[in-house]
C-alpha cells in the first residue's frame, strides 16, 4: 500500500498563507509524490484557492469536516457537494477536536460518513482514546465503539474509499507521541475490527497515525506494520517539516 501523508491545517492560515504553503509543498514534493499520496486539508475558506494552486500536481485536497445534509438551513455548515465543488477528494470526519470541543456524537459521525460516500468523498474517519480512557484500560473499548458506530450500515462497496486515522487524544498537539508499540497495537486492533466487519475488502483501508508526528519520530512510526501513513497537525503548517515527512514516507 502507498504511504499517505495528510496535513490537517486546522484553523490556521489565511487564504494567501494557505496558497503559499500549498505552493511550497507542491514545488518540493514532485518526486516523492509519485510514491506517497499527499493530502492537504486547509480550512473551508481556503479550499477553492488551494485547489486552483495544486490542480496540476499530484497533491489531493481534503476538508476538515462536513454536514450530513445535502443542503438546508444549517448556518455555518458546508455540504459534501460544496466540498466537491471546491475540489475536495477527502474529508476528515470525527476528529477528536470535533468530538470534544464541538460535542459531535458517534451517531452524527456515522451520518457524516454515509453522506461522504453518497457525495463521492473519501472519509478519513478519526478514532482515538483520551488519556483517562487509556489509563483505565478502555482504549480498545473506545476504539471499537467509535469505529463500529461510525461505520454502522456502511456497505462493503464503499470500503475501498475509506481511510481511518488513529489519533490518541493525549498525543494531539501535546508533543507526546504514542510509542511505535502503542500505535502498532491500536492499528492492529483496528485492522482486526475492520476485518471482522468487511473481511478481505478491509485490507485496502489505510490506517493513518496522528498525534505529534514530526520528522524525528515519523520514521519509527511509519516502519510499523499497519501504519499506512500519518495525519499531521502542527508539523504540516510549515513547508519544510511537511516536505520532510513526505520524503521520509517515500523511503519506507
Ligand atoms: P498534531 O500533529 O499537532 O499533534 O495534530 C494531530 C492531529 O490532530 C491531526 O489531525
Comparing CA positions, the residue from 236, 218, 197, 240 lying closest to residue 3 is 218
Does an H or E element contain 154, and which? none
- Angle 204-246-250 from CA coordinates, rounded to 5°: 65
Quick one: cell of 41?
Answer: 486539508
pLDDT(243) > 90 = yes
Task: Band the pLDDT of 122: cuts 50, 70, 90.
Answer: very high
pLDDT band at 95 (very low <50, low <70, confident <90, very high): very high
Residue 119 Cα to ligand 1 midpoint, Å, equals 26
pLDDT in tens, 137-185: 999 999 999 999 999 999 999 999 999 999 999 999 888 889 999 999 9
pLDDT tens readout for residues 34-79 = 899 999 999 999 999 999 999 999 999 999 999 999 999 999 999 9
| 39 φ, ψ (degrees, to nearest 5) | -125, 135
Structural domains of the chain, with CATH: 3-251 (3.20.20.70)
Neighbouring-strand partners of residue 165: 126, 208
Nearest CA to ligand 1 atom 5: 233
Quick one: angle between helices 15-28 and 239-251, nearest 10?
30
Spatial separation of the C-alpha atoms in residues 210 and 30, rounded to whole Å: 24
CA of 225 to the centre of ligand 1 (A): 21
The string of pLDDT tens digits covering residues 220-239 is 999 998 999 999 999 999 99
Q: Catalytic residue positions? A: 95, 167
The pLDDT value given to residue 167: 98
Strands 90-93, 229-232: pairing kind: unpaired
C-alpha angle 183-37-130 in degrees, rounded to nearest 5: 30
Amino acid at each position: 500500500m502507498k504511504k499517505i501523508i495528510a496535513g490537517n491545517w486546522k484553523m490556521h492560515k489565511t487564504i494567501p498563507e494557505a496558497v503559499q504553503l500549498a505552493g511550497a509543498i507542491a514545488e518540493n514534493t514532485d518526486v516523492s509524490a509519485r510514491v506517497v499520496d499527499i493530502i492537504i486539508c486547509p480550512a473551508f475558506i481556503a479550499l477553492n484557492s488551494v485547489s486552483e494552486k495544486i490542480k496540476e500536481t499530484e497533491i489531493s485536497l481534503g476538508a476538515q469536516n462536513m454536514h450530513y445534509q445535502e443542503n438546508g438551513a444549517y448556518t455555518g455548515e458546508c455540504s459534501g457537494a460544496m466540498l466537491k465543488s471546491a475540489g475536495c477528494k477527502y474529508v476528515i470526519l470525527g476528529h477528536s477536536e470535533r468530538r470534544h470541543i464541538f460535542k459531535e456524537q458517534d451517531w452524527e459521525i456515522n451520518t457524516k460518513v454515509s453522506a461522504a460516500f453518497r457525495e463521492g468523498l473519501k472519509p478519513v474517519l478519526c478514532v482515538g482514546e483520551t488519556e483517562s480512557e487509556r489509563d483505565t484500560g478502555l482504549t480498545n473499548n473506545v476504539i471499537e465503539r467509535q469505529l463500529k458506530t461510525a461505520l454502522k450500515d456502511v456497505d462493503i462497496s464503499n470500503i475501498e474509499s475509506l481511510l481511518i486515522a488513529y489519533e490518541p487524544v493525549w498525543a494531539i498537539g501535546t508533543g507526546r507521541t504514542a510509542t511505535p508499540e502503542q500505535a502498532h497495537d491500536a492499528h492492529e486492533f483496528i485492522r482486526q475490527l475492520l476485518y471482522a466487519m468487511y473481511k478481505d475488502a478491509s485490507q485496502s483501508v489505510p490506517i493513518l497515525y496522528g498525534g505529534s508526528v514530526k520528522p524525528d519520530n515519523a520514521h519509527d512510526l511509519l516502519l510499523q506494520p499497519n501504519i499506512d501513513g500519518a495525519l499531521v497537525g502542527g508539523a504540516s503548517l510549515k513547508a519544510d517539516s511537511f516536505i520532510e515527512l513526505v520524503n521520509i514516507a517515500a523511503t519506507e
